[in-house]
Structure 1
Amino acid sequence: MVFGSINAQFIKYGVTGSLHRGSIAGIHNASKANFGGSVGIFADLSIVPNDIYDSAWLYLTPQLEVYTIGERASWNEDDNNRQKYNNTYIAVPIYLKYFMKNHGYKGDIYFMVGPKFEFLVSEKIEEGDAVNKAMAAGYDPAKFGLGQKADSFGYGVSAKVGVKVDNKWDVFVRFDRGLSKVYKDYAAQSTYNRFLAIGLSYYIGETN
């Protein structure tokens, strides 16, 4: 129904990127979030009529991106040797994008929210001898999330608040929260991706 209502005579498209601090929540004992980033392409497809140039205030905005997320952790808080976890995903967020109105006209501030689907393309784990040390201390390594493998598919929600700088550039703040378990075999509690980011979008062109 949404695609059927799209006013296909006006589509804007461009590139976007962001910097975030994010982690895989709810698994590794004493963990700290890593800095990561994302880069992608997007398209703004107007859902309402665009009677005047760039006057549409409601869009469907699919996006294709690559992003990284990870953390540094320690199963033993007294041990300075930290484990490292870094995952790379290809993600497809699909946003509904709403521009606030100013005196009845399209404003410069917008809000975006929608589902996100992500596919794991790279998983880098550096645990060293943490598993052996935990076992030697009489602990089950699984208790601290050691030796776990990430699921290849996940889903969640993504939201943005942004401001148009000019006709080409936007700046935004973004928050993503996973709803599926990253480590599906880890039974102690839910595990999910999360991050808070700042970013830029650049509009390359448009079609009428």
Structure 2
Amino acid sequence: MKKLVIIYALVLFGFANAQSIKYGVTGSFHKGSIAGIHGVSKGDFGGNVGVFADFSLVPNDIYDSAWLYFTPQLEVYTIGEKGDWNEDKVDYQKYSNVYVAVPLYIKYYLKNHGYKGDIYFMAGPKLEFLVSEKTDEGNAVKEAEMSGYNPAKFGLGQKINKFSYGLSVKVGAKVSDKLEAFIRFDRGFAKIYPDYTQNTSYNRFLGIGVSYYLGETN
């Protein structure tokens, strides 16, 4: 986690001379899952809370006229799922993880008659570090062994990676001078369970959220 904080601080320092800097808080609600593992599984609901800064990459001579920004974000988010290794729909295995993450977005506002519009798109890489892991597999490992199966085949008893990375995208709209609403999709590319060989396991989620601007520097 310290590495992510250092990365975020260096990014902020590197863009300190941007045309203008807007900053605020953001949060979202999503349904996510750890794809590619735990047999038949159901995603759980989770959320994100964080802070962000918009560094303008084009002139911002007129009030809030910049249409292109670099937007780093520092956030905490939860993700998890319920597994069902033998598909009996009775005893579920539960997985819940908490990450500190740094998405690094490019933010582009669509133009309306040559001026900055209210609709925007954001996309960029995301780095994340596991800070909390909660796994409850009950007697699933013993049940699989007693049934003549290797528990590892169903993703049971696996060790999780502490670091991962992926891609985050948003589509949003300006609600007021200080408030924006968005839809967000994140897809991981790193293996969450490195020792699991049946499939590539990764984090993913789809959610909705808002961003609120606290201030601006010029």
Same fold (TM over 0.5): yes
For 1:68, which of 46, 56, 78 is the aligned residue?
78
Q: Hey, what's the Cα distance between the residues in 1 that align with 2:14 and 2:189?
A: 28
How far apart are residue 9 of structure 1 and its match? Answer: 3.6
| Contact 1:6/1:48 (<8 A) preserved | no
| Contact 2:109/2:116 (<8 A) preserved | yes
Q: Secondary structure at the match of 2:121?
A: strand
Q: Hey, what's the Cα distance between the residues in 1 that align with 2:89 and 2:53?
A: 47
Q: Secondary structure at the match of 1:188?
A: coil
Quote the residue 2:4 is aligned against. none
For 1:181, which of 187, 191, 199 is the aligned residue?
191
1:1-208 map, 5 Å = 8-208=18-218
TM-score by length of 2: 0.92
- Structure 1 gaps of 5+ residues are none
Change (3 A) 1:117 1:81: same
Letter in 2 for 1:32: K
User: Structure 1 vs Structure 2: percent identity of aligned residues?
Assistant: 69
How far apart are residue 4 of structure 1 and its match? Answer: 7.2
Change (3 A) 1:4 1:141: closer
Letter in 2 for 1:58: L
How far apart are residue 150 of structure 1 and its match? Answer: 1.1
Q: Hey, what's the Cα distance between the residues in 2 that align with 1:134 and 1:145?
A: 11
How far apart are residue 51 of structure 1 and its match? Answer: 1.2
Report Cα offsets for 1:166-208 as digits up to 9, x if no partner: 0010000000000110001101110000000100000000001
Letter in 1 for 2:127: F
- Structure 2 gaps of 5+ residues are 1-10
- Provide the alpha-carbon RMSD of the alignment: 1.4
Report Cα offsets for 1:91-116 as digits up to 9, x if no partner: 00000000000000000000000000
TM-score by length of 1: 0.97
Q: Hey, what's the Cα distance between the residues in 2 that align with 1:169 and 1:49?
A: 22
Q: Hey, what's the Cα distance between the residues in 2 that align with 1:194 and 1:90?
A: 15
Q: Hey, what's the Cα distance between the residues in 2 that align with 1:46 and 1:83?
A: 46
